[in-house]
Amino acid sequence: MLSIKELQEKITLAFSKQTFKGEPSLLYAPIDYTLSQSGKRLRPLLVLIACEMFQGDIEKAINPALGLEIFHNFTLLHDDIMDKAPIRRGKDTVYKKWNTNIAILSGDAMFILAYDYVIKTDPTLLPELLRLFNKTAIEVCEGQQYDMDFETQNNVSIDDYINMIRLKTAVLLGCSLKAGAIIAGANKNDIENIYEFGVNIGIAFQLKDDLLDVYSDVKKFGKITGGDIVTNKKTFLYLKAFELAKEEILSKLKKFFSLDESDSNIKINGVKAIYNELNIEELTLIEMQSYYDKAITNLNKIKIQDERKQNLLLFTERLMKRES
């Protein structure tokens, strides 16, 4: 059985063999620029881990794995326009480096490329793989729309939030694992369990992200913490605090969140103090753990030897303990 490191090397090698250059150059240069930044490459790794876990042929999974990574990067490219995000992975975003029109169109082209890679596999798998991919892709769009809706909505519940991150982030992790399992020819129950495992881990993963924004070590995190607080982003922490805060604490919380970006230090420190008072870090960890536990229940239902589950378990633990 290949190790995580060996699987990662397969992905790096496969990406290094691709070329995304072409004419007209303003269409292809942003694609090449985006895909040559490596990122974490979580999604293709999940495809290969699942394929390996069910003793599938990794070679059949490589192209769909790249396809899911390209799809993920396409969504980031378009999201960055919508979110007006100037920086991604320490570099200018495409719309900032070029312009909005180029970011829209090169994103569209990248989306087509994603399909092109997803379909480069055993043709008999196409109907199932494409149904999965289409369903996931549309859910990711739904998640992004809910996320945008929430910006101006004052009655977002924690359930709404969990549903949003399930769609925007978690289903693509589930899809990656499921794609690997389909390619390996796993049975229907195992395929559904690994999908649900991925979705639950994905929710825990996003909750961890919310936490890291507030409670991480700046040096390890690699960016300034408190960004979500400054922009009033309705994260789990924000929603939990508003759920729990009463009277004086509630009015202080509202006051701090009404400060604008020029007062960012006062705002971050003020909100953090209230989060500490309300025990928000602990509560977020408990919520995270509950999704992690659900995921482990899904994993336990998969009827293969425990040792074949080790890669996935190891990788998941690293994700949960990560500091950036």
Residues lying near a second copy in the complex (CB under 8 A)? 22-24, 26-27, 78, 81-82, 100-102, 104-105, 107-109, 111-113, 115-116, 119, 123-124, 126-127, 130-131, 134, 137-138, 141-142, 144-146, 148-149
| Closest distance to a second copy from the beta carbon of 283 (Å) | 27
Region for 84 from its dihedrals, namely left if φ exceeds 0, alpha if ψ lies in -120 to 50, beta otherwise: left
Between 102 and 285, name the residue whose CB sits nearer to a second copy: 102
| Closest distance to a second copy from the beta carbon of 187 (Å) | 20
| Closest distance to a second copy from the beta carbon of 109 (Å) | 4
Using a 10 angstrom Cβ sphere, with 0-12 exposed, 13-18 middle and 19 or more buried, the burial of residue 101 is: exposed
Between 145 and 232, name the residue whose CB sits nearer to a second copy: 145
Would you call 92 helix, strand, or coil by DSSP?
strand
| Closest distance to a second copy from the beta carbon of 52 (Å) | 25
Between 141 and 283, name the residue whose CB sits nearer to a second copy: 141
Between 146 and 292, name the residue whose CB sits nearer to a second copy: 146
CA dihedral sign of residues 225, 231, 233, 236? positive
Helices within the chain (DSSP H only):
4-17, 25-35, 42-53, 58-82, 94-97, 100-118, 126-151, 158-165, 171-183, 188-215, 218-221, 227-230, 236-244, 247-258, 264-277, 280-301, 310-321
Between 126 and 286, name the residue whose CB sits nearer to a second copy: 126
| Closest distance to a second copy from the beta carbon of 116 (Å) | 5
| Closest distance to a second copy from the beta carbon of 33 (Å) | 15
Residue 98 DSSP label: S
C-alpha–C-alpha distance, residues 181 and 198, integer Å: 12
Between 90 and 127, name the residue whose CB sits nearer to a second copy: 127
